[in-house]
Amino acid sequence: MADFPHFLCPGQAEGLVLRLDEPLSLWGGLDATTGRIIDQHHPQVGMSISGTMLVMPSGRGSSSASAVLLEAIRCGTAPAAIIMEHPDAIVALGAIVAAELYDVALPVVVVSPQTLATYITGDSLSL
């Protein structure tokens, strides 16, 4: 991996950090129409990720997560940015296709584990 931060999908964003304790599979885990976490196994179930600087260790689960992120972007419920410790092609693709289809730039960023650890829920962050 080259220097951090590494942009899987370019863009600028700012907002309040929402840090997830575990990875989230957007498909099966997110209601794209409301932006709420619906994965009953997830520690942050019920919370809204809309407009947040969403911080999580990695992606998880289904290939359809790309489609759910694209749909959340279309519905206006997506996070402002997604920040992870491990690159995840499936998450990145939702943002890459949104740029192609809707000319929307939602940054998907990989940072070092040390940097990720400094992001606290509720803090302001800009990319």
Partner 1 sequence: MPLRLTAEDQQLLDGGSGPGAQMAMRIVVRLAEALEAEQLLTISGAHVDSCLYHGPSTLAFAERLLALGASVKVPTTLNVSSLDLLHPDLFTGDPKEAEQSRLLTECYKGLGGQPTWTCAPYQLDERPGFGQHVAWAESNAIIFANSVLGARTDRYGDFIDICASITGRAPAAGLHLQENRRARRVFDVSGLPSALLDSDWLFPVLGALVGATTGVQVPVVTGVPGGQPEHRLKSLGAAAASSGGIGMFHMVGSTPEAPTLSEALGGVDPLSTMQVSLTDLNQARASLSTATGLSLSSVCLGTPHYSLDEFAVLVPLLSGRQVHPSVNFLVSTGRGIYHELQLRGWLGTLEAAGVTVVVDTCTYLSPALTGGTGPAMTDSAKWAYYAPSNLGVEVTLASTAECVNSAINGVVTVDESLWANG
Binds partner 1 by CB under 8 A, chosen from 4, 28, 47, 119: 28
74-77 CB contacts, 8 Å cutoff, 24+ apart: 74/98, 74/102, 75/32, 75/33, 75/35, 76/50, 77/32, 77/33, 77/34, 77/35, 77/48, 77/49, 77/50
Q: Does 77 bind partner 1 (CB under 8 A)?
A: no
Stretch that binds partner 1, among 11-19, 46-54, 88-96, 111-119 (CB under 8 A): 88-96
Helix (H), strand (E) at residue 89: helix 89-102
Active site residue 66: no
Shorter beta-carbon distance to partner 1: residue 80 or 96: 96
Q: Does 88 bind partner 1 (CB under 8 A)?
A: yes
Q: Does 107 bind partner 1 (CB under 8 A)?
A: no
Q: Does 61 bind partner 1 (CB under 8 A)?
A: yes
